[in-house]
A = this chain, B = another copy of it.
Amino acid sequence: MTENTLNDPELDKLHRYWQACNYLAAGMIYLRDNPLLHEPLKAEHIKQRLLGHWGSSPGLSFIYVHINRLINKYALNSIFLAGPGHGAPGILAPVYLESTYSEIYPNKGENLEGLLHFFKEFSFPGGIGSHCTPETPGSIHEGGELGYSISHAFGAAFDNPDLLVAVTIGDGEAETAALATSWHSNKFLNPLRDGAVLPILHLNGYKINNPSLLSRISHQELEQLFLGYGWEPHFVEGSDPQEMHVKMAAILESCVLKIRAIQQQARNSGVATRPRWPMLVLRSPKGWTGPQQVDGHKVEGFWRAHQVPLNAVRENPAHLAQLETWLRSYHPETLFDTQGRLLPELKALAPKGEHRMSANPHANGGRLRKALRLPDFQDYQAAVGKPGNSSAENTRPLGKFLRDIMLANPSNFRLFGPDETSSNKLDDVYQVSKKTWLADYLPEDCDGGELAVDGRVMEMLSEHTLEGWLEGYLLTGRHGFFSTYEAFVHVIDSMFNQHAKWLAMAKQVPWRAAVSSLNLLITSTVWRQDHNGFTHQDPGFLDLVVNKSPAVTRIYLPPDVNTLLAISAHCLQSTDYINVIVCDKQKHLQYLDMDAAIKHCSKGIGIWEWASNDTGVEPDVVLASAGDIPTKEALAAVTILREHFPELKIRFVNVVDLYKLSPASEHPHGLSDRDFDSLFTLDKPILFNFHGYPWLIHRLAYRRTNHKNLHVRGYKEKGSINTPLELAIQNEIDRFSLVIDTIDRIPNLRVAGAHVKQKMRDMQIDCRNYAYKHGVDLPDADNWVWPE
């Protein structure tokens, strides 16, 4: 260890730099005046509301400054992710000290006035957020909702061979579900072609009010846990700053050297195996260097240090005095000059230019993003003659398209899916790239394993980890596509929410360059669960999506192969959105040839003339659909209606881009009222057959002129083991229900329609009986095709 030990002057400067960080972190929480304590501290210098998290800030800065030392020593290319993002003062401080903050936000200059702005605006309305928000230079991880730091870090490291991603995990965060499984990401990192992730578990012992689990198990258990997760744990434990600097410098350096040795060995040999990557456990007191006790209660090293250690400073002179003593313990006068500038001897410790973690372009990934090279999606088209007469698995041609995208973009595109790429019929991609796998191999893998150390298809049975990887990959300037089961996309609802919030904020940050959209294919949908039953039926993700900012959300329901291809190609080229594509993987009727699909998808909504008979006249009824099975059933209803009521003028509308239904004032894709009215009429009944829960359509369209005549059918939470048609009947999206509905809505069909309604009810019973007898749908219904 001796050779890595800091010599005293270097240690002293590093410590003082850290003290400057701690001073700034405390200042951000407390001060609205007298920023460098040039005069005695008074109550009026204190903010009216004391907000912020002191607890993990000193530890975060401690880690940051020690990484800085190694960046300088080894010219590292490194970014930093703060799992406990609410410890933002501990990140903002070193970011400010290395000048990035002032460069980007000139009113927070490196002088007294700038410092005061920096303090005052922290956690203040209209000011600086209290997490590592998109406004924070160097951040790709806000840390507002806990659990995703490691998966984000791995996403950043994939295909960035020179990047070292340092990620601090709070011991609170370490208890979350998402974090607990993400340690296994090391089985998916290839030392030959990927960068490295250095996790630093910050055991500061406490959460808001509780000890953390990992700080209250034995050292042996903790070590075993990380050995078991496949890491090589290193420990830096203690509270004396001088001793801790010496330990941290040595051990962190040995970790970095170990990482380099692993990489060199792999790269020199050309052989990628799973090494034991180092990770570090930093056990340091919560609220380190802050008040030890307040009013007779332990604070430093206890949960009371979590937020604001001294609360009553404006009212209680003893607290004010204690705060002043605390702040002066950092000797700000020995750190900053009288103008508020960090002393040059300390400033010298900050990395320069893009070596600063706060200025590393990987953390503003749009700057590095290269447009995806896309083959022509039309090359993958399904041949469609007469609409509604041929069948195909909707996702299979997309798999071929993704395969060729993978081929054309060999180092900046990945495909993600929880053990379901094959099940979702995208497995053609394996022809050019296998599933990444750095865990053990067995002989049988050679026959159908599709595993490889250099694959770029990411499969793990954790939607959380996949989503985290993908977000990290995108935020560092790359491209990706995620396919997952519809019901279980709810597993990552909260991650979707948080990523949507990140994007919405990031779009308002002028210096952030646009990143690739997050493309989410929702497949294995509610209508084709066959034997999986009720637990696998949930199309409600879309209800979440529409809560998020219209600036970043898009929803598509392509009903067949060619529309899916056109939509996917569009999504893959877009930036700063979350594109949600709903399309089932099973065999479905094909409706549109490629030309028609392109036209239809560019409009996003439109009349299908071939299924309509209202040419030149106002229709009697509009049948509309969104989604594959609902479209088939609605079309089948049209044929029944036409057979029985040849005079009835039916318009058929299909919706691919769901937001077309929104008012134009609420979503950029929303149709104008005029266009909406011209499609849906002013006063005719509309039967809308929808893929999801029916209320969503009302939520989008309730302001439209003809809303009172809009009748929506969709999934109504009815199901168990069902054939497709029988499930449709239960939820009344089937052809027969739609015919009955139509008859009920058109007064002059009521009499003539009575016997048709009865026939429809009989058909429903026949279909159910057949399904209950044979376990499959009535062939006539199942094999239905558009007849004309």
Residues of A that sit less than 8 Å from B by CB: 47-49, 51-52, 86, 123-131, 133, 142, 144-147, 172-173, 175-182, 184, 187, 207-213, 216-218, 221-230, 297-298, 301-304, 419-423, 435, 437, 439-442, 444-445, 447-451, 459-465, 487-488, 490-491, 493-494, 497-498, 501, 504-505, 530-536, 538, 540, 543-544, 546-549, 693, 695-696, 698-699, 702, 707, 717, 720-723, 726, 771-772, 774-776
Contact = CB atoms under 8 A, between A and B. Distances in A.
Contact of A230 (B125, B146, B221): B221
Nearest to A695: B699
A461 B172 contact: yes
Contacts of A184: 175, 180, 213
A726 B450 CA distance: 55
A426 to B, nearest CB: 11
A695 B697 CA distance: 11
Contacts of A549: 717
B461 A175 contact: yes
A495 B718 CA distance: 18
Given A145-B491, A176-B491, A225-B229, 18 more contacts: A126-B771, A129-B533, A130-B532, A144-B534, A144-B536, A175-B461, A179-B181, A181-B181, A209-B420, A210-B451, A224-B225, A225-B227, A297-B448, A501-B534, A504-B534, A505-B534, A538-B547, A702-B702
Question: What is the copy number of this chain in the assembly?
Answer: 2
Nearest to A175: B461
A125 B722 contact: yes
A131 B423 contact: no
A109 to B, nearest CB: 20
Nearest to A719: B501
B176 A461 contact: yes
A459 to B, nearest CB: 5
The 3 closest A-B pairs by CB, nearest first: A225-B228, A144-B535, A180-B181
A705 to B, nearest CB: 11
Contact of A48 (B52, B546, B774): B774
Contact of A494 (B180, B493, B696): B493
Contacts of A130: 531-533, 721
Given A173-B461, A546-B695, A497 B228 contact: no
Which of A147, A182, A549 has the largest number of chain B CB atoms within 10 A? A147
Contact of A187 (B125, B129, B213): B213
Nearest to A498: B535
A301 B226 contact: no
A232 to B, nearest CB: 12
Contacts of A212: 461
A449 B206 CA distance: 10
Contact of A698 (B142, B698, B726): B698
A129 B464 CA distance: 28
A540 B544 contact: yes
A226 B451 CA distance: 27
19 contacts: A48-B775, A49-B531, A126-B771, A131-B532, A147-B177, A176-B181, A180-B181, A187-B213, A208-B422, A212-B461, A217-B440, A225-B227, A298-B444, A302-B444, A302-B448, A505-B534, A540-B544, A698-B698, A702-B702
Contact of A227 (B125, B224, B464, B535): B224
Contacts of A213: 184, 187, 439, 460
Contacts of A707: 702
Contacts of A717: 501, 504, 547-549
Nearest to A184: B213
A51 B531 contact: yes
Contact of A726 (B125, B441, B449, B543): B125
A723 B48 CA distance: 13
Nearest to A420: B208
B497 A494 contact: no
Nearest to A222: B228
A252 to B, nearest CB: 23
A292 to B, nearest CB: 11
A301 B125 CA distance: 60
B175 A177 contact: no
B531 A52 contact: yes
Nearest to A508: B720
A403 to B, nearest CB: 17
A93 to B, nearest CB: 17
A547 B304 CA distance: 41
Nearest to A701: B702
A439 B49 contact: no
Given A173-B461, A176-B181, A123 B531 contact: yes
Contacts of A547: 538, 540, 543, 693, 717
Nearest to A712: B702
Given A172-B419, A298-B444, A490-B497, A145 B535 contact: yes
